[in-house]
Amino acid sequence: MTPLIDPFLRPISYLRVSVTDRCDFRCVYCMSENMTFLPKKDLLTLEELDRLCSSFVRLGVEKLRITGGEPLVRRDIMTFFRAMTRHLDSGALKELTVTTNGSQLERFAQPLWDAGVRRINVSLDTLDEKKFADITRWGRLPQVLRGIDAAQAAGLRVKLNAVALKGFNEDELFSMTEWCASRNIDLTWIEVMPMGDIGNEDRLGQYWPLKELRATLGQQYTLTDLAERTGGPARYVRLEETGQKIGFITPLTHNFCESCNRVRLTCTGELFMCLGQEDNADLRAPLRNHPGSDDVLEQTIRDAIARKPKGHDFDYSRQAVDGRVSRHMSHTGG
């Protein structure tokens, strides 16, 4: 079968799948406090998610990342993970992984390992309990830390994803680095992105460029650039003093689009070919209108990939948030 190749000759081998827009936190840069969630009838069923992901695997996708909202709050989600195990067993799928807020990991870490998950990303922006409660609005840090313990005990490789927020976690740069080093956990910093209406929060005021963060890190550590890539947008350095790996995801100060091999599927079946563009393809209609055959679905996927743009338009450089997109990150998939 002909693999998925976009107009810029980039093979599409990585699918990020949002399985729900719901979350048990309300992080201030991601959601408004009183979110209106999608009607459940609009969401793809677990069987539909299986059929869609299986189609992408047939078309050459080798990495699936399951996201949300918070994916582990979706009812019976382990049914879906166990279904995807067959693609790992066949060798068609090289990696099945999860991005989570960690709140449910104490319960799900071992079942995830049993389903073939070997790496997880935990979104965690602070190790200060009060600040954590403030930024997540509803979150409890001890619950997340117990989840990380459970994940490591199950054998999962843990990476922390921290959003760089000016005036919030700048003062934790070194303490978070040291905590991760002590736990053999990799750490990736992410620039805050202009996704969705979050009420009174100020995107520009939150924005902490990672070139500043990196320069500050370089005051205490020797940073060696690494050629290594994990299929995502992060660029990595090694801290020579600790041996740990630090990643930087910089959609604003350094556009990483030239090597993009990813597309994103929302929990309602919209395929976004670029996180920072509004163009999308409806996969729910061919999925539901043609239950007996995947031919129309797979052609719709191919037609969508043929429209994948060269890159996004996020830009904070003119003291205004340009390239903003209206949908929340929880809808597209974090």
In tens, the pLDDT along 192-228 reads 865 444 444 454 467 888 999 999 999 999 999 998 8
Whether residue 320 has pLDDT greater than 70: no
Calculated CA dihedral for residues 104, 109, 110, 112, nearest 10 degrees:
100
pTM for the model stands at 0.88
Question: Given the DSSP bridges, would you call strands 95-100 and 280-282 parallel, antiparallel or unpaired?
Answer: unpaired
pLDDT of residue 332: 60
Structure tokens at 100: 């989570």
- Residue 334 Cα distances to 65, 69, 86, angstroms: 10, 7, 25
Average pLDDT over residues 228-242: 85
pLDDT of residue 322: 47
Nearest Cα to 35, choosing from 329, 274, 279, 264?
A: 329
245-303: pLDDT as tens digits: 999 998 754 455 777 889 999 999 999 998 767 789 999 999 999 999 999 999 999 99
> Annotated binding site for S-adenosyl-L-methionine: which residue ranges?
29, 69, 123, 193
pLDDT of residue 229: 73
pLDDT of residue 212: 94
Bond preceding residue 116 cis, omega within 30 of 0: no
Structure tokens at 70: 């918070």
> Annotated binding site: which residue ranges?
16, 23, 27, 29-30, 65, 69, 99, 123, 159, 193, 257, 260, 262-264, 274
Whether residue 175 has pLDDT greater than 70: yes
pLDDT of residue 129: 97
Average pLDDT over residues 108-123: 98
> Annotated binding site for [4Fe-4S] cluster: which residue ranges?
23, 27, 30, 257, 260, 274
Distance (Å, rounded) from C-alpha 259 to C-alpha 262?
Answer: 9
pLDDT band of 238, cuts 50, 70, 90: very high
Structure tokens at 161: 């994803």
Nearest Cα to 43, choosing from 265, 284, 268, 264?
A: 268
Distance (Å, rounded) from C-alpha 331 to C-alpha 316?
Answer: 23
Tell whether the torsion through CA atoms of 217, 222, 223 and 228 is positive or negative.
Answer: negative
> Annotated binding site for GTP: which residue ranges?
16, 65, 99, 159, 262-264
- Residue 132 Cα distances to 137, 140, 162, angstroms: 8, 7, 12
Average pLDDT over residues 102-128: 98
In 10 A of CB 127, how many CB atoms?
A: 18
Task: Sketch out the chain's domains with CATH numbers.
Answer: 14-332 (3.20.20.70)
Nearest Cα to 232, choosing from 4, 14, 75, 1?
A: 14
